[in-house]
Amino acid sequence: MSLSTLLMSPDDDSAGALAAAGSASAQQAQRAAMERFLAEVEKRAYQHALLGLRHREDALDAVQDAMLQLCRRYADRPAAEWRPLFFRILVNKIQDQRRRRTVRGRWLAWWTQGNAEDDEAPVDPLENTPDTRQEPLRRLAGEGALRAVAAAVEALPPRQQQAFLLRNVEGLDIAATALAMGCSEGSVKTHYFRALQALRTAVGEDAP
Amino acid sequence: MSTPFEKATREWLRSAAENLDGQTRSQLNRARQTALAELKPRSRWARTPFLPLTAAAVVAVVAALLLLPSSNHRPRSSTPAPVVAIDEGDLGGAGGQGLFDEDPTLFALAAVGEATP
C-alpha cells in the first residue's frame, strides 16, 4: 500500500475523484472549444494562406502547422486569445515560407547563371513557381467580380494583403490585427487603407 | 463602419472560403484532428498554481536549516552558568611550578619511600 493511500482518508479519496472528474470534464470542454474554434476558422485560414503563398500544398502545411502550434503551446490561454494567436502563427508561417522561396529562387538563379554556358536549355526559375491560374480560389470565383477581387487580393503586397484579410475577412479589430501581424496599430491602419485603395483601383470604379 | 465595397469583398471571399472542394476540406479536417491529438491532459501537479514558487520556498527553507551553524540548534539552559573564581595560586606558583608540573624531587622521595620497608 503506498504512502499516499495510507495518508488519504475516504474524504480525500472522494475529493480526489471529484477533482479528477472535474479536470477530465474541463479537458473535454477545452478540447470541444478548441475543435469548434479550429473548425470555424480553418477554411478562412486556408484561404488566407492560399492567397499569400499561391500554392495549395504549402497553404495546407502552413494551416496545419499553425493548428499544431496553437494546440501545443497556447491551448491553456483564454479562448478569446486564440484567434489573434492563431493568425499570428499563421502569418509567421506564411512569411517563413516566402523567405524560403526567395532564398531558393536566388540559388536557382545563381545556379542557372553558372550553368548557362554549359547547358543548351537553361532552367527558368519561374517554371518552378506554382501556377496560380487553376488554384481553387480562382476556380471558385469563376467569372465576374469575385474572380477580379481574388486576383486583386492576390496581387497585393504581403503586409497589405494580411491587413486586409485579417481586418476585413476575418473581422479582427485593429488591436488584434496588430497582434497577429506583429506591428503597431498605426501600421495596421496604413496597410489596410492602402490595400483598400489598391483593390478599388484594381477592381475598377464600377465595383460595389 | 464598413463601406459597401468592404462588405462586398468580405462576403465574396467568405463565400469562396466556405465552398472549398471536398479534398481540401478533408485535408483540413485531418489537420484539425492531428492538432487536437496534441492536446495532452496535464498532470495534477502542472495544474497547481504557484507550484514553482512553492517549490522554491521549500528548497530555501530546507537549505537555510541545513546551512545554519549547529550551535544555534543546541538547547540553551535558562539559568546562566555559575562563575567560579579561581585563584592563580591553585594552578601555578610565581616561579612557574604549578600542580600539574612534574617535580623530580618528589618523584625521588617517593621512590626512596617505596624501597624502605
pLDDT tens per residue, range A30-89: 899 999 999 999 999 999 999 999 899 999 999 999 999 999 999 999 999 999 999 999
- Supply A79's cell numbers: 479562448
3-state secondary structure of B83: coil
pLDDT at position B76 is 56
Segment A154-188, tens digit of pLDDT: 899 999 999 999 999 999 999 999 999 999 999 99
Residue of B nearest to A207 (CA): B5
Q: What is the pLDDT of residue A9?
A: 47
User: Residue B22's pLDDT is what?
Assistant: 92
Q: B34 vs A67: CB contact, 8 Å cut-off?
A: yes
Answer with the residue of higher pLDDT: B113 or A59: A59
Smallest Cβ–Cβ distance between B5 and the set A35, A150, A208 belongs to: A208
Packing angle of the helix pair A185-203, A145-155 (nearest 10 deg): 130
Q: A169 with B14: CB under 8 angstroms?
A: yes
Q: How far is B47 from chain A (nearest CA, A)?
A: 9
Chain-chain contact of A38 with B17 (C-beta, under 8 angstroms): no
Does the pTM surpass 0.90? The reply is: no
The yes/no answer to whether this complex scores an ipTM above 0.85 is no
Residue of B nearest to A152 (CA): B9
B68-96 per-position pLDDT tens digit: 866 555 555 556 666 666 555 555 555 55
The answer to whether residue B32 neighbours chain A at the CB level (below 8 Å) is: yes
